[in-house]
Structure formats: structure tokens, C-alpha cells
Amino acid sequence: MSIMPPVTSRDHALGPADAAVTLVEYGDYQCPYCAAAHPLVQRTIRKMGNDLRFIFRNFPITQIHHNAEPAAEAAEMAADLGKFWEMHDVLFERRDDWIDAPDPDPIAKLAAEAGLDAAAVRRAIDAHEYDQRIRDDFVGGVRSGVNGTPTFFVNGVRYDGRWDGDGLLVAVQEARDAAFTR
């Protein structure tokens, strides 16, 4: 299955636009599997260098993860301030500090660690300022066949192999090698 919509400048991206491989993750900040995948994605980014562009799209599964959407809202606000990746990383790396909170205050406090104004983040979460952006990612995921998180796409094609261990890295390396042999 192919990714819909395709990657554009609207996406949160790490790495060069002309990289041999584009890896897209549809993720949920509260998902334990996404948290487990995060260090593997980080390792893949480090090992692939400029041969990889990584994209993260929101896919909060709000039926079971009540704080996934507030976390995505905080990340989107951070994006508006040029700090998406700082917030993205702190949400995964400090996940245990906020996943079971009865309200989004711990998320706002973590935002301060990413260099954001905690009170402004809390206001943005409360006002649902970024709902449409998150909904757009989610709908794109549904159109692309995403039904759980994390779901990865390598060069626009859904990757259904193992992402744990070296599975994701090997898939990305194989895509790079295929791109260079064309």
C-alpha cells in the first residue's frame, strides 16, 4: 500500500529532501510500541546520515490513549516555534512522566524542557489549536491503510516487516541500495 498524501514540505522532516530514502512514521506519542521504536528510529537516522529523510505524522489513538492528542498538540505548537523535534524527542524519552496524568499539565511542563513556554502550551492544548493539523495526519494515515502504531513507509510504500532489532534499519539500507543501483 502506498502513502497518501505523499510527503510534502508541510511534513515534519529530518534530513535532506533529496535523500535516497524517505522513512515516514505514523505514530502516537502515548503508544508503548512507538516509544520502543523511537530509539531504533534514532539509530537508523544516525547510521543512514544524509541518505535518509525521516518524517513523523500524528496518528493518536484516542480511544485508548487519552493523552496522545494533547501530546500531539504540544508537538505541533513546538513545530510553529521551530522546536518540533525537541518536543517530539522529550515526549518519547520522558513518556512515563505524562502518560497516566489526569490532565495535560505534565505535557506542558515537559514542553519547558524543550524550550517552550509551558503556560502557552497548556493554552494551545486546552483550545485544541492544532486539531485540524493532527486530524489531517490521521485521515492521511487511514487513507494509507494505517490501523495501528507505529506504521512505517519506506519510499512511499508501507513497510510491514519487523521494525524491532535491525529490521527497520535493514529495510532502509536495502531501499538506499536499490535507489543507488537504478
Chain segment 69-128, per-residue pLDDT in tens: 999 999 999 999 999 999 999 999 999 999 988 887 899 999 998 899 999 999 999 999
pLDDT at 102: 87
- Domains (range + CATH), the chain: 12-180 (3.40.30.10)
Q: Tell which residue, 66, 76, 137, has the closest CA to residue 106.
A: 66
pTM: 0.96
Answer for the pair 73, 124: CB distance below 8 angstroms, yes or no. Answer: yes
> pLDDT (tens digit, 9 = 90+) per residue, 56-65?
999 999 999 9
User: What 3-state class would DSSP assign to 27?
Assistant: strand
Q: How far apart are CA 107 and CA 19, in angstroms?
A: 33
Three-state secondary structure call for residue 116: coil
Distance of alpha carbon 137 from the chain centroid: 10
